[in-house]
Structure 1
């Protein structure tokens, strides 16, 4: 099966460790899908600096198809991360979008018609193009911690929806699930931080507890869980098996610095 990440990419600059890593929700989803046995691709825009080169080389190393990757003169998107050596107490510093924001053109939309699933999210700012995308491919969408008021206009176009609610009560989680399901979403995930995630697939609801792990870095664990879960469900395995596999894979990612590895040293002065 074919899966395409559409939208954002970002280089996470670990200020204290002087290391940078490739990332971004759409990139992460594509990489984890490729690792999960899917034929994955990525559509997005990278800059002409070292950060853009890191995004491209990492995706190439992972085997992700880049036929519709654009290169635009200017700086790549980046996010500065201040983190202690234990992988905790993460604080965001300077973040810039660079050249990463774009709109899909006709060729991109035709290309998406060759896939079983396209993944994007609120950070990619492609909401206005969701109707055109949905005419060609099923959509997975990461809402992060955005409100249900925001989600209301997006959910009708979505097959798979992901929400982040680290401190939510059971009632709030149920509200999120009910809202998404009533809009026609087939698979809904609500990640709840270190506790785990609640997932719902066609009316079947279960809680997937987080797998205990000595975490090196939790950045990107939610993306890893969603991608592995979605790919397993697409492949036809049971929800219980897919959720368990997703939790185990997310724990594995927590044992690696960065969203999916590929560290590169920072050899220049960078702003905090």
Structure 2
């Protein structure tokens, strides 16, 4: 195990079973898949791989089963240089699985069976105490038990590590955990769900307004991702809209994980949050141009030069929208 890491990811590992379809089925309808692929995934593992490919010294805390899928997931992490010392084999449950359909527009729908991910425990976090203590940033993903997220956030606080909280899916967390989020990262739909649950009135169409409202709920900083329109950042008294990058979307699976991973990596390198979000829009835009989650993540040298604008569906006309 490395003695010092830029980023520790605490989260899920899933095998992704992805079917490409012309369109998503209606309830009760059967549609034919053009192809079916199997690859490594899970929001936690996705973030670890995305960050490692960009150059971050990365470690993963998670659980897998003892089946063949577990070996596939661990090998994928190790191939990209991710430390898996604290990714535990669980003999009593299978590895997590995600069933994904991707339409021709690039939009996806996902059903996840947590399996081993649901057994990642506060005890696993305690066992990784020295690893967390060596990290600059700890990234937390909500595809694992809430008690484990709470334990990891408090361990990060004790180690003076910065906490990046990707509250996806949206679950209720203790106030002291939300207060450690620096930033809290959610997409625009998740932002509205959090605000609705808290009784905070909608702020209109502005993603920046939602980011400010999330700050008002206690997060140290907040980033709301806006798909092809980029992201909104709120930190202290500063708010900023980060434009998207114009591309043709092939598959949006894992793009949010790429975004969160890039923010965590850049923060570990000392970037300001808006600059980290600018990096993240570039990486996530690259991701949606390629099928799959982990297979779509770029090495640092493969990133294009910065450019402004929004991500378009695969069947839409390219255009640049400067803001």
Fold match by TM threshold 0.5? yes
Offset from partner CA, 1:54-108 (integer Å, 9 cap, x none): 2111101111111111111231100111223x35342335x31122221133321
1:63 aligns with 2:88: no
Report the equivalent of 2:289: 255
Offset from partner CA, 1:242-266 (integer Å, 9 cap, x none): 332211111111122221218xxxx
Task: Work out the number of aligned pairs and report it.
Answer: 258
Whole-angstrom CA distance in 2 between matches of 1:192 and 1:82:
21
Whole-angstrom CA distance in 1 between matches of 2:267 and 2:236:
11
Report the equivalent of 1:79: 98
1:8 aligns with 2:12: yes
Report the equivalent of 2:143: 123
Shift of 1:133: 3.7
Does the CA contact (< 8 Å) of 2:157 and 2:180 recur in 1? yes
TM-score (norm. length: structure 2): 0.71
TM-score (norm. length: structure 1): 0.83
Offset from partner CA, 1:104-154 (integer Å, 9 cap, x none): 33321232111111111222222331324421233211113627x657453
- Greater than 4 Å deviation, 4+ residue runs: 149-153
1:46 aligns with 2:59: no
Task: Provide closer, same or farther for how the CA distance between residues 252 and 114 of structure 1 changes in structure 2, counting only shifts above 3 A.
Answer: same
Higher relative contact order (CA 8 A, sep 6+): 1
Report the equivalent of 2:178: 155
Offset from partner CA, 1:153-211 (integer Å, 9 cap, x none): 531232221111149634575244344266251x4210122322102344332112221
1:174 aligns with 2:206: no
Structure 1: unaligned runs, 5 residues or longer: 263-272
1:209 aligns with 2:228: no
SS in 1 for 2:135: coil
* Structure with larger Rg: 2
1:139 aligns with 2:143: no
- Measured on the aligned residues, the alpha-carbon RMSD in Å equals 2.6
SS in 2 for 1:5: strand
1:92 aligns with 2:110: yes
SS in 1 for 2:94: coil
Report the equivalent of 1:237: 271
Shift of 1:240: 4.7
Structure 2: unaligned runs, 5 residues or longer: 20-32, 193-203, 297-323
